[in-house]
Amino acid sequence: MGPAGARKEAQTYRISWIVGAPVQRATCSAGNYIGSPYSSCLTVSRQGKYLLVIDAWARACTCIDRPNYITYNLLARISRPNRAGGAMAAEGYAHPEFLVDAGWVDAHKGDANVVIVDCEVDHAYARGHIPGAVLVPDNYEKDPDSGRLFLMQPGQFKAMCEGLGIGDDTLVIAYDHSRSLTAARLWWSLNTYGHTNVKILNGGWRAWVASGGKVDFGPAAPKSVTFTPKRDDSKLATADDLKQACEVGDSVIWDVRSDGEWDGSNSRGNKRAGHVPGAVHLEWFNLLDSATNEFKPAGEIRRILTEHGITPDKNVYTY
């Protein structure tokens, strides 16, 4: 790495902080690799008086001598390549149009009708985001008046979308740092309000950084648009719906929560612990590749779901 034509000199540096963990003294040449007990491979680059250390997955690029400053300006070019074209059809998904890869996002991020939404919290957004991405004000799109996880009311959702520059004709690309958890929540929220033109960056922030995508740090200016909420409750279940589903043989109730929530050892602040009678348990992240944060291949997802009785012929309720 480093500026083009820069002379590489072997030097010894005191590497005091790498991705949140101290390491021992290391000798390296700028642009070469060094081993670390905290990462399988590190790229080292000399930039002026700073030594930049980037781990193999490009989680963070740390300037030595400024241990609290994290920048993604220089990224390791050692990640696996994107799928050509960004299309997911070859993966065998039933709806490949819902997912795009980093290459597709990079090719379309400047399109006039595209809005990229970072579905994280403010400090994660400030640490680095896709150029032009706007930050969702509440990454669960909660109704602030309910005090719970109920979806925003139409007026609230309209105001949020227009504040993000999402209009009726906007193509939304959602991503997060959380294995698509909050990006999927935004996908569902938009679909519930009749806006189906939304895609998820497969692999999220990790995929973008690993692809060598450019990164911004400042806020983006949203466009002035009009969003018309058209609520579609067919993608929303009530407690009464769930009670009725418990008595119907063609339905599956899928508990996607943690083991602790499932077995009642962790109430997560709820009035009662445990799970819905008759529900099957499969924590949501089991459908993702832990190394890449991407969704697993369609065949593997289908196998996992089938093993839990979650099949296309059933009405599936998730919670």
The residue extents of the domains of the chain are 10-71, 84-232, 239-318
Helix/strand/coil for 241: helix
Beta 315-318 vs 10-13: how paired, if at all? unpaired
Q: DSSP states of 77-136 as a string?
A: S-SPPPPGGG--GGGT-S-GGGEE-HHHHHHHTT-TTEEEEE-S-HHHHHH-B-TTPEEP
> What pLDDT does residue 148 have?
75
CB neighbours of 109 closer than 8 A, spacing ≥ 6? 116, 130, 131, 132, 173
Indicate the CATH number for domain 239-318.
Answer: 3.40.250.10
- Same CATH fold assignment for domains 84-232 and 239-318: yes
* Residue 312 CB burial class (10 angstroms; 0-12, 13-18, ≥19): exposed
CATH of 84-232, one of 3.40.1280.10, 3.40.250.10, 2.40.50.100, 1.20.200.10: 3.40.250.10
Say which DSSP state 253 is in.
Answer: E
Contact 186, 174 (CB under 8 A): yes
CB neighbours of 159 closer than 8 A, spacing ≥ 6? none
Phi, psi of 117 (to 5 degrees): -115, 120
> What pLDDT does residue 269 have?
83
User: pLDDT tens across 153-189, in order?
Assistant: 999 999 999 999 999 999 999 999 999 999 999 999 9
**Bridge partners of 61?**
54, 71
> What pLDDT does residue 120 have?
95
Helix/strand/coil for 65: coil
Distance of CA 68 to the CA centre of its chain: 24
- Choice between 125 and 43, residue whose per-residue pLDDT is larger: 125
Helix/strand/coil for 310: coil
Beta 61-63 vs 70-71: how paired, if at all? antiparallel
User: pLDDT tens across 17-74, in order?
Assistant: 233 333 333 333 333 333 333 333 334 444 443 344 444 333 333 333 333 323 333 3
Contact 118, 177 (CB under 8 A): no
Band (304; pLDDT cuts 50, 70, 90): very high
> What pLDDT does residue 246 have?
83
Query: Average pLDDT, whole number, for the chain?
Result: 77
User: pLDDT tens across 255-285, in order?
Assistant: 999 999 999 998 888 889 999 999 999 999 9
CB neighbours of 231 closer than 8 A, spacing ≥ 6? 154, 192, 193, 194
